[in-house]
Structure 1
């Protein structure tokens, strides 16, 4: 897995519209050109890495094609409640440092996908953006559906007033069919004129920890994937110097 993206420094809270996102200091979108490249894995591990840096993090899982983050964080089957401001996100740790809202919480079976036409999907995403009561967060990581579609435009348009910090694009490194080739993500970043944030090795322990809902960042510090994930998190933190003090 490789991550590219443009991250902007500064505090986007200035000039925010009032609402449920007004207490969120920085928003990061995670995207991919296709499914199965590790987008939700990067979203989850980035949130965990930021939590280990002492940040309060939310994850908005609007991957309607297959919401997998509740399983990765052992939050499947949790009930979503409502308050006067809208939906209350689910806290996934005792310290309440990571909160999660996912379309998976609204499905009868957690392994099913949302089979809706575009306008209905877009309406749900806009509702997720506006109607989740996040409270105060340092970062909100938005896991989007794979590919490019109306859902992405709906998410970007709904988030635009809050000036997202930036976007991470997750890809596999091959140019054609050889999954063990290298450099595809770096070349993509060069052509797009955006920074290359890092390459995460394929580690069975990473996949296993996510399948079992365990904290990879905490349990496998000697994995070759650990420094890569930590480096990506540092790139995000370096783009937001106001939060380092």
Structure 2
């Protein structure tokens, strides 16, 4: 019996949670037959232990129940054979966005700081979640291999799915996320030197299927070490967003993280001052870490880089940021009305002002 066009149309609305594409496009629907009001469907999972099997089954069932004339639904799950997985990998590989290609439409933003403890990772997670909530396609690489924290900040506990030599990143709050922490059995330290760090980033960019992205964020380790250099080599089109606190010592070391752009030919797109002040109950502000550091860093980088580097926002020190981070729901989602969330949304809006399109880009042509 041939497949039902009505059932296939309904299943086209079901997306694989990891690949974020319709299961019909991915070759996952082996059969979809409608007979006397009963819809019988077989869906092929990429691997036997697919962590999203129940999600796919539930969404497929719901989609089929909405089809006119369907009174009963039977969704059976199978597993792709090696050839079908090979075909899937080939179809996905042809759609991978070459992030290092000058013609890529993906904007790559590396979030840097001079020292740890300034909130760089939480800002990265919040920016990614905010832009994803606006309907943009966003990826996030935790490039801080020695001090990874993104999985916890994003509330991710599941491991990436492997389809042979391809890695499917977990999706949290609409963001595709990858981190070395997802490959460790426990909270063990990563004791690697430079070449291994470079190889880890290289594999994140080549083996992980992100698909077509509007934005790719990288949470860099603090300072100007091996990973910062690797990012500039593997992603020459990446831009730097520098995070500091108002404290003078934080500003001085953040300046080094920004001026690395002189050697790497990256562009510094702005400065973010985090923990700028603490709003007291009586309405006054307590400047816990001093004041003026962000503006000072902005002026210094503008002079040294010879182009304007703006102070994009000042984010207040709030308990809600810490609470959201501990719960795995960044503050832009967990407490959207808070002043910190407002500042982060404002920052995301400024980053997203650059048009993403084909204007001004050369296109490959064949005759």
TM range, smaller chain: 0.7 to 0.9
From the superposition, tell whether residues 215 and 150 of structure 1 become closer, same or farther in structure 2 (CA, over 3 Å). Answer: closer
> Is contact 1:129–1:159 with CA below 8 Å preserved after alignment?
no
Give the Cα–Cα distance (whole angstroms) in 2 for the partners of residues 179 and 156 of structure 1: 34
The correspondence of residues 26-45 of structure 1 with structure 2, limited to 5 A, is 26-45=107-126
Q: Partner residue of 1:156?
A: 232
Per-residue CA distance 1:177-232 (angstroms, 9 max, x = gap): 98421111211111111121111111011111110112421332331212210111
Secondary structure of the equivalent of 1:112?
A: coil
From the superposition, tell whether residues 173 and 103 of structure 1 become closer, same or farther in structure 2 (CA, over 3 Å). Answer: same
Give the Cα–Cα distance (whole angstroms) in 1 for the partners of residues 351 and 164 of structure 2: 33
Give the Cα–Cα distance (whole angstroms) in 2 for the partners of residues 206 and 236 of structure 1: 20
Give yes or no for the alignment of 1:192 onto 2:301.
Answer: yes
From the superposition, tell whether residues 135 and 176 of structure 1 become closer, same or farther in structure 2 (CA, over 3 Å). Answer: closer
Output the TM-score relative to the length of structure 1: 0.81
Q: Partner residue of 1:79?
A: 159
Give the Cα–Cα distance (whole angstroms) in 2 for the partners of residues 100 and 131 of structure 1: 13
Stretch of structure 1 that moved more, 234-243 or 223-232: 234-243
> Unpaired runs of 5+ in structure 1?
1-17
Q: Partner residue of 1:132?
A: 208
Secondary structure of the equivalent of 2:110?
A: strand
Q: Partner residue of 1:147?
A: 223
Give the Cα–Cα distance (whole angstroms) in 2 for the partners of residues 33 and 150 of structure 1: 14
Give the Cα–Cα distance (whole angstroms) in 1 for the partners of residues 214 and 249 of structure 2: 38
> Is contact 2:331–2:340 with CA below 8 Å preserved after alignment?
no
> Is contact 1:72–1:211 with CA below 8 Å preserved after alignment?
yes
Q: Partner residue of 2:291?
A: 182
Give yes or no for the alignment of 1:168 onto 2:249.
Answer: no
What number of residue pairs does the alignment pair up?
218
Q: What RMSD, in angstroms, separates the aligned Cα atoms of the two structures?
A: 2.2
Per-residue CA distance 1:151-173 (angstroms, 9 max, x = gap): 1111221111xx22x21111111
Secondary structure of the equivalent of 2:139?
A: strand
From the superposition, tell whether residues 159 and 27 of structure 1 become closer, same or farther in structure 2 (CA, over 3 Å). Answer: same
> Unpaired runs of 5+ in structure 2?
1-93, 99-103, 251-286, 303-308, 359-367
> Is contact 1:24–1:134 with CA below 8 Å preserved after alignment?
no
Per-residue CA distance 1:24-76 (angstroms, 9 max, x = gap): 62111111111111110011000111112221211111111221111111112
The correspondence of residues 1-245 of structure 1 with structure 2, limited to 5 A, is 20-22=96-98, 25-76=106-157, 78-83=158-163, 86-93=166-173, 97-109=174-186, 111-160=187-236, 163-164=237-238, 166-176=239-249, 179-193=288-302, 194-240=309-355, 242=357
Give the Cα–Cα distance (whole angstroms) in 2 for the partners of residues 218 and 189 of structure 1: 29
Give the Cα–Cα distance (whole angstroms) in 1 for the partners of residues 121 and 333 of structure 2: 18
> Is contact 2:122–2:330 with CA below 8 Å preserved after alignment?
no
From the superposition, tell whether residues 152 and 223 of structure 1 become closer, same or farther in structure 2 (CA, over 3 Å). Answer: same
